[in-house]
Amino acid sequence: MHMQVEETAVEPVRLFRINTGSCNGCDVELAVTSAVTEFDVEQLGCRYTESAREADVVLITGPLTVRARDEVLRLYAATPRDKVTVAIGVCPVSGGVFRDSYAVDGPLERHLPVDVNVPGCPPRPQALLAGISEALAIREARRAGVEPSRKPKQGKRPNADNFPARGRLSFDAGACVDCRMCRHVCAAGAIRFQEGEDGVRLTLWHNSCVFCGLCCHYCPTGALSVTGDWRLDHPASDTFRQVERGEIPYAPCSGCGESIVPAAPQLLHAAFRRPNPEIEKLATLCPACRQVMSIGAPRR
Amino acid sequence: MTTKIIELGPHQLALEEPMYFRVRLEGDRVADLDVMPGQVHRGMEHLVMRRNLYQNITLLERLCSLCSNSHPSTFCTAVEEVAGIVIPPRAEYLRAVADEIKRIASHLFCCAVQANAIGEIPLFRRVMEIREIMQRAKEAIYGNRMDLAANVIGGVRYDLTPEAVAYLYQAMEDMKKPLDELYLQFANNPALMARMAWVGVLPREAAVECAVVGPVARACGIDYDVRKKSPYGAYDRLDFEVATQTAGDVRARNLVRLAEARQSVSLIEQCLAQLPAGPLCADTLPEIPAGEAIAKSEAPRGELMYYLRTDGSDFPVRLKWRVPSYMNWDALKVMLKGEPVANIPLIVNSIDPCIACTDR
């Protein structure tokens, strides 16, 4: 990831970090970008500063605790007017696993404007560098008085490399049986089910997801899976577009005609290993009709 | 002699986390200090009661990212204790592998930060580069460089394929020489000796009084390691010595850490060699009855304790912790007394304070 920012080769862009009460994961990874050659921010023409007044780019970690708020806002107020602000990790954007706590006063956007989000828990150093690059592009565009270009990432955006880093989640609606175990085990509340006219819709928000993969672990049909796509940085204006969604359509029960979510073939395989045609009939039956089929009458 | 009170924050202390001290100086020496905690208070005790037992596995991994594996593994142990679940032997070994990988990375990070605090930048970078071997291994095996997501109730949710075992053996081989060199450097390098030896001394009696744990205690000659004293998981089948030192200074604490990191390499190799075949998890969705349990483990910073109380529902009724940094940062008062201001960042970092764990 070598990106040359010409003008800054002379004078480095100064990065300033603010920890708003993080678990230290993002902060330790940011320390890596100041210490390890492969990930050094120097390759982007940047260096870290300890002085808020020198900040060209502000990197903010953590869910913003009530206790840290005043100090965070004081530090932020001391930074120059034209800095670019980057939210590192999902905590500043949504609170991540810490949302809904009395001690957390996020999202950060309620208190100060954010320009770039870098989702991850924590983001890998490559993702941090990608987010910082995005901030640099915004800074350049602002200084030139133009709108920041919106499509630098398309085209040769690397989806995944040979490292199986846990990144973006992928949802296969065809395999989902609406059991909602994923939502049950999600610590960050990133998954939502909505019942509509024609089906059930799953929405997973990557600005709340902490990429732990527990949903995939407990998903009985493999409808949810973790991909290696770690490039999740985006302009803050796209915060709510970072979703994975899919609709599981209702189908009429082949017995009584009531709207049901049919059992996916993956579920039959999980339950019966080698389903025969008789078992496959179960897939399109509602629970009551299934009971009639197997025990002669609905169970009371 | 003039008395002065100064306040120090994370930027002056070279800390990754927001921690503030109010220090009373007599002349240019520290006379007393107050820790002003709470910046990282996220209301964990409240949050864990609003999340079910499964959600808490992920939430607790984010209690602190440096000892991230110790939290969910100790929590799962407590849940398993309540439910009477015996985890499969393979899972015991895989938990130990995850814990030891985290221990090496955590100890090296602590040593690196201290090198940075005394201006030894090349050493800081060197230690961080060595640590990268472990970071890469974590990402290759677990998919993340900090939060491993290795544990579930009843076992683990990752496996080591034969290729992963071979990869990890190689990574361990790559760690040996650098770790041995680092140990010698922290033990004998005159520049490091000048800054770290006889600095921030915690006498053994004071260590006992403050009830310090982990490398801070072992550096004062207190032979206490949960993995030895009350072995859990696979540790009763693994062979290692408790690393101790007697000087109780900054140097001794680092030597304990580096000796432990080297031992962790050997522990991981033993785990890989002994790794039994079999299932990874006892039961996917076990029933958790009402009950209470205490589980403890040796986290990188020392003894970590979990108290869990359940009522037969999915949600814990109570979950409480005793984290190692809590006792250790109380000992800072003793370590810092009479030290010059310039030594404060080094001494504070030498206890490897985990603010995220302590503020919760």
Contacts of B61 in chain A (CB under 8 A): 212
What is the per-residue DSSP string for B249-266? SHHHHHHHHHHHHHHHHH
Could you count the other beta carbons within 10 Å of the beta carbon of residue A183? 15
Q: How far is A103 from chain B (nearest CA, A)?
A: 5
Mutation to test the A interface, candidates B8, B62, B121, B148, most A Cβ within 10 Å: B62
* Residues 150-189 of chain A whose Cβ lies under 8 A from any Cβ of chain B: 163-166, 184-188
- Asked which of A144, A166, A196 is the last residue of a domain, the reply is A144
Only one residue has tokens 């630098």, namely A152
Q: Using DSSP, state whether B289 is helix, strand or coil.
A: coil
* Structural domain boundaries, residue A54: 6-144
Distance CA A136, CA A248 (A): 41
Distance CA A244, CA B173 (A): 41
Q: How far is B64 from chain A (nearest CA, A)?
A: 5
Question: A37 and chain B: CB distance < 8 Å anywhere?
Answer: yes
Contacts of A24 in chain B (CB under 8 A): 16-17, 64-66, 354-356
Is the pLDDT at A158 greater than 70, yes or no? no
A6 pLDDT band (50/70/90 cuts)? low
- Would you say residue A107 lies in a domain? yes
Could you count the other beta carbons within 10 Å of the beta carbon of residue A76? 20
**Has B210 been labeled as part of a binding site?**
no
**Has B67 been labeled as part of a binding site?**
yes
pLDDT (0 to 100) of residue B359: 87
Closest chain B residue to the Cα of A209, Cα to Cα? B58
- Would you say residue A15 lies in a domain? yes
Q: How far is B218 from chain A (nearest CA, A)?
A: 25
Partner-chain residue, chosen from A36, A67, A166, that has the shortest CB–CB distance to B41: A67
- Asked which of A144, A179, A197 is the last residue of a domain, the reply is A144
A8 pLDDT band (50/70/90 cuts)? very low
Q: Do B143 and A166 touch (CB under 8 A)?
A: yes
Q: Do B42 and A211 touch (CB under 8 A)?
A: no
Q: How far is A247 from chain B (nearest CA, A)?
A: 25
Tell me the pLDDT tens digit for each residue of B160-183.
999 899 999 999 999 999 999 999
Q: Using DSSP, state whether B199 is helix, strand or coil.
A: coil
Is the pLDDT at A161 greater than 70, yes or no? no
**How many CA atoms lie within 13 Å of B98's alpha carbon, on the beta-carbon side?**
35
**Has B110 been labeled as part of a binding site?**
no
Partner-chain residue, chosen from B128, B129, B143, that has the shortest CB–CB distance to A165: B143
Q: Do B52 and A25 touch (CB under 8 A)?
A: no
pLDDT (0 to 100) of residue B298: 94
Closest chain B residue to the Cα of A190, Cα to Cα? B55
User: A37: which 2 tokens?
Assistant: 């050659």
User: B224: which 2 tokens?
Assistant: 């206490």
pLDDT (0 to 100) of residue B103: 95
Tell me the pLDDT tens digit for each residue of A279-300.
888 888 888 888 888 787 776 6
Cβ-based contacts under 8 A for chains A and B: 162
Contacts of A164 in chain B (CB under 8 A): 139-140, 143
B282 to A184, A197, A219, B69, B287: CA distances (angstroms)? 20, 41, 17, 19, 12
* Residues 191-210 of chain A whose Cβ lies under 8 A from any Cβ of chain B: 210
pLDDT (0 to 100) of residue A255: 83
Partner-chain residue, chosen from B38, B57, B284, that has the shortest CB–CB distance to A214: B57
Partner-chain residue, chosen from B66, B152, B284, that has the shortest CB–CB distance to A24: B66
Contacts of A188 in chain B (CB under 8 A): 58
Distance CA B341, CA A181 (A): 54
**Has B64 been labeled as part of a binding site?**
yes
Distance CA A181, CA A183 (A): 5
pLDDT (0 to 100) of residue A289: 86
pLDDT (0 to 100) of residue B10: 75
pLDDT (0 to 100) of residue B88: 94
pLDDT (0 to 100) of residue B39: 86
In chain A, % of residues over pLDDT 70: 91
**CA B284: distance to chain centroid?**
29
Q: How far is B356 from chain A (nearest CA, A)?
A: 5
Tell me the pLDDT tens digit for each residue of A131-153.
999 999 999 888 887 777 665 55
Please list, residue by residue across B325-359, b when 16 or more beta carbons sit within 10 angstroms of its beta carbon and e when fewer do: bbbbbebbebbbeebebebbbbbbbbbbbbbbbbb
Question: A63 and chain B: CB distance < 8 Å anywhere?
Answer: yes
Distance CA B142, CA B136 (A): 10
ipTM: 0.86
- Would you say residue A43 lies in a domain? yes
E strand residue ranges, A166-242 = 169-171, 191-195, 199-205, 224-226, 234-235
Please list, residue by residue across B176-211, b when 16 or more beta carbons sit within 10 angstroms of its beta carbon and e when fewer do: eebbeebbebbbeeeebeebbeebbbbeeebbeebe
User: B163: which 2 tokens?
Assistant: 């290729």
Q: Which one is predicted more confidently, A160 or A16? A: A16
Quote the DSSP letter at residue A91.
H
Q: How far is A176 from chain B (nearest CA, A)?
A: 19
Q: Do B65 and A122 touch (CB under 8 A)?
A: yes
**Has B241 been labeled as part of a binding site?**
no
Give residues with Cβ within 8 angstroms of A26, minimum separation 6.
A61, A62, A88, A89, A91, A120, A122, A123
User: Which of left, alpha, beta for B78 (phi over 0: left; psi -120 to 50: alpha)?
Assistant: alpha
Q: What is the CATH number of the domain that holds A93?
A: 3.40.50.12280
pLDDT (0 to 100) of residue A300: 64
Is the pLDDT at A156 greater than 50, yes or no? no
Tell me the pLDDT tens digit for each residue of A213-261.
999 999 989 999 998 888 899 999 898 988 999 999 998 998 888 888 8
Our count of domains for chain A comes to 2
Q: Do A213 and B62 touch (CB under 8 A)?
A: no
Q: Is A33 in contact with A125 (CB distance < 8 Å)?
A: yes
CATH architecture assignment, domain B41-335: Orthogonal Bundle (1.10)
pLDDT in single tens digits along all 360 residues of chain B: 688 888 777 777 667 777 888 888 888 888 888 888 888 899 999 999 999 999 999 999 999 888 899 999 999 999 999 999 999 999 999 999 999 999 999 999 999 999 998 989 999 999 999 999 999 999 999 999 999 999 999 999 999 999 899 999 999 999 999 999 999 999 999 999 899 989 999 999 999 999 999 999 999 999 999 999 999 999 999 999 999 999 999 999 999 999 999 999 999 999 999 999 999 988 778 888 999 999 999 999 999 999 999 998 999 999 999 999 888 988 988 998 888 988 888 998 999 888 888 888
Q: Is A232 in contact with A210 (CB distance < 8 Å)?
A: no
